[in-house]
Structures are given as structure tokens and as C-alpha cells.
Amino acid sequence: MALLSLLGSESLTSVILVGLCFGATILASYRLFKHPLSKTPGPTICCLTSLWMHYHIYIGDEATRITELHKIYGPVVRVAPNEVCIADGAALAPIYVEKGGFPKAECYRNFDIDGFASLFSETSKGIRAPKAKSVTPLFSTTNIRKSEQLLTAAVGRFVARLRRERSKAMLANGDVDVLVLTRGLAIDAVSSYLLGKSYGALDEDMEQVPAKSTDGKSKLSAGEFVDAFVGVGRFFYLPNWIFVVVELLSGILYGTQEAVESMSKVDQFVTDIVKEAHAGDGSFPGCMLQAGLTPKEVAAQCKDLLFAGTDSSGMNLATFCWQLARNPDVYSVLKSEITDAYSMNPSGFDSMTLPYLRACVREALRLSMANPTRLPRVVPSPGWTFHSEGQTHHFATGTIVSVQMLTLHHNPAIFEDPYSFLPERWLDTPKEALQLMLRDFIPFGAGSRQCIARNLAMLELTLASEALIADGVLEGVRPVHDKLNLIEWFNSHVKGDEVLLKWEHGTSKQCL
């Protein structure tokens, strides 16, 4: 009986294995030859499984690998069994802009916070619309500029802090991590304007716990909070149910006390803000409360706001500083423009009107890569037909399509010498070519679902850039490293967690 039982068990195992192999063969054959995307060019491994792409997402070179695939296969590439990526700016309008754009893919729900869909992660246009409408006036250029003094005050604290850190570094023949300071400005600016109270990052002693990280480097108290959210990006494209399991295991296996303390401090800050807010008070939480959201959901929305505003704006301004350090000729031209502006307008001027400054900011945003990877959308019924480089591609309902910033912003057909920091390209390019550059310029995304705080981010970056030059704190600065190496998750992460600058001695004078 035991022998029969063993033979029966082995037979059952064999049947299961044969069945699995047969099923896998059928599935592979379908994906290669019968799937609606079977005629779309791409590596065989990507046509068969999404595992290859998930691997490159996890290790952080997804955007670079996809760009390489475009060089081999053309502007339309199949990157997963049911997904294509498009390296043609003509696809931006139909995917992201026209009629509100295609619906967001379900993977965006992996960025929900505390069980609530944020303005960013919500995939339903109908559910998101009233929430977004309640706060949209806060993000208009007119209203932001009415409270510009809040941003100016934060910028002033940032420049003063950078000058102090620079002095200490020069005395010790050391360097300064400008990224930690630009993040400090970003979180203080967004909290001051939208929440009605500054987080106070630029006033922190970054040598004290919990601001200091596990690797001994100085960080903001909110730094681990931001980095934890950035780290989620390595799992962004996973199916929702798998993401929940992976996130839970990651927290158990890799969570740190510093991260817990950082999260706790941000939670307390947000909780206090929401408690003090009331419907109709004009603040971000007040507008959300007036729209009928519960205090817990409002707190989640505020945390999402703090993360997005800190990470992206901090990265963009750090990139601006690093690029000026690498390009002293650009710094010199920009310094002359700002000096002349002060000479002609001693009482002040509008930084947004300076053409070379605007060009420098735009070029920094082109190269910053705060969000370098795909922005996936789902093709609605009845499907979508796209024409590119003489080829016609039809995508069935339910196909996931995307465009990514890294590929568009480094396309030599649109941006000549794409890896160089050349602000002049935004001033000297003929009109027709400039229109294509502007079309493919997507530092904040595109369409109705692009970054809701883009106007605030642009003004903050411009004011800070002008103040840095006017103060002279960047005189004599040089980058410690010749290249910024990024981990290409949904939100990019600088390898080494720092952007280091170093100053030559005898360069402490102000420009103006």
C-alpha cells in the first residue's frame, strides 16, 4: 500500500508538472504570436514576462534600460506582456492631455497613504475631481504670488543656512551636502504656504538624533520619512496585492528606529496642523475639510503633499546648484544678468522675468530627473491608434501605455547635445524646434494629472536660484563628484544620499 501510495503521489506530481509546462507553453505561445501586442517590437523576454522589467525597476536602472531598448527597437517598445513604452513626444497629448487623458494604471494605488488614496494615487477621475477642485485655487499662480513673502522668507533662511554650512566646511577643508539643505527649504516652503506653519527643517541641528541617519550622515528629521517613500518606488509597478505583502515584509526586515522616529515626527506635525485647521480657513487642510474629508484622510493628503514637495523640489534645486558648480561660465552669465537687474531696479524686480535665469531653471529641470521613469496609463475603449515614424500601432482596450521623462529629455533629435547643461538652448533655438522642446519637456508630468503644485515649485525654484546668485554664496564652488549617479525608481534617489559641493578658499564675498 505504501508503494502504491508513493507511486500515486509521484504520478500526481508528474501530472501537475506536465500540466504546468503545458499551460506555460500555451501562455507563452499566446503572448508571442496571438496577443494584441504580438506585432509590437521588443525583447522576447519582455513579451513573455514582466519579471525582467521588475528586476531592473528594483535595482534602479529601469529608465536607462528602456531608453536603450528604444535605440534598438524604435519609438514604440513592448516592455512587458501587456505594456508598451513610447519615445515620441507626439504621444503625450493623447495619453495624458486630451479629454483628461487615459486613466491611471492600478499600480498608482501602491502610493496610497494610511489606507487613503491621495490626489496623486487616486485612479478614478470621478472620485478625485471634487477633492482636487477644493484645493485647486491654492495652486494658481495668482494666489501663490499673493503669499510670495512666505516663500521669500524660507529662501532667505535657506541661503543663510548654506552660508553658515559653507563657512564651517571651508574652515575644516570639507564639503557641504546641498541636497539636505534644499530638501529643508522645500519642506519649509510647502508647509509654510499650504499648511500655514513652517516645518522648521532649516532651523534643525542636523547633527542630532533623530536627524542623523544610520550611516552617520546628517539628515533632516523628515529625511528618513522622505527616503522611505522614495524606496517604495522600487515596488511601484507590482500588482496591488503583491505590493502590500512586499511592503509589509520590507518594513519588518529593513525598518530602522530612525525611520520610525522620522515618521512619528512628521505624523505629529501633520496631526497638529489638521487639529488646528477648520473648514474654510483657506489652508490646504481647511479646504479638504470643507470638501467633506475626514481628519484622518486630510492628514494622509498632507503627508503626501509634504513628501512630494520635499523630494522633487529638493532634488531639482540641488541639481541646479550642482550644475552651476560644474559650469562656471553659466554661473558668470547668470550673475551678470542678476547684477544688471539689481542695478536697474534697486528696489527689486520679478525674478520670473529674467530670461537667462528662467532658461537655467528650465535646463536644470530637464536634467534633474526627479521622476525619470514611466507614467503608466490604461488605454480606454475602444482602443487607441498611434502613428510614429511612418508606422501605425493599434493598442487594444486595457493595454498599458507610457512615456518616460528620461528618454524624452535626453532625445538628441529634440535636445541637441542632450547630456550637457546648456541654458542657451531655451533662448537661441528656432521657434519650430523650440515648440518641440517644450512639447517634450515634462518635469511635472503632462495634462490634468500633472503635478498639482507645479506653479509653486517653479516659483520656489526660481526665487531660490536668484537668491543664491545674488548672495554670492556659490562663488568659487565646485562639485565633489563629476557625475550625479541616480537610482531610477519612480522618484529618483541619489546614490550615496548626498550632493556634495566644495568651495575654494578666499571666495566668500557677496555679488551684490
pLDDT digits (tens, 9 = 90+) for 429-458: 999 999 999 999 999 999 999 999 999 999
pLDDT tier at 15, thresholds 50, 70, 90:
confident
Whole-number mean pLDDT of the chain? 92
pLDDT tier at 4, thresholds 50, 70, 90:
very low
pLDDT tier at 7, thresholds 50, 70, 90:
very low
Question: What does the pLDDT read at residue 511?
Answer: 52
CA distances from 49 to 32, 53, 214, 404 (A): 11, 8, 37, 21
Q: Rounded mean pLDDT of 405-419?
A: 97
Question: Taking Cα atoms as reference points, which of 181, 199, 382 lies closest to residue 305?
Answer: 199
Cell of residue 235, nine digits: 515596488
Question: What does the pLDDT read at residue 248?
Answer: 84
Cell of residue 502, nine digits: 566644495
Task: Please tell me the distance from the alpha carbon of residue 486 to that of residue 319, in angstroms, as a whole number.
Answer: 12
Neighbours of 484 (CB within 10 A): 21
Residue 302 annotated as lining a ligand binding site? no
455-473: pLDDT as tens digits: 999 999 999 999 999 999 9
Site of grid cell 529629455: 409
Query: Which part of the chain is CATH 1.10.630.10?
Result: 112-367+449-512
Cell of residue 402, nine digits: 507610457
Cell of residue 458, nine digits: 517653479
Angle at 38 between CA 36 and CA 43, to 5 degrees: 135
Q: Give the DSSP letter string of 233-248.
A: GGGTTS-HHHHHHHHH
Site of grid cell 532649516: 202
At the fourth CATH level, the homologous superfamily of domain 112-367+449-512 is Cytochrome P450 (1.10.630.10)
> Over 50: is that where the pLDDT of 498 sits?
yes
E-only strand ranges, 4-101:
76-80, 83-86
Task: Please tell me the distance from the alpha carbon of residue 91 to that of residue 388, in angstroms, as a whole number.
Answer: 9
63-104: pLDDT as tens digits: 999 999 999 999 999 999 999 999 999 999 999 999 999 999
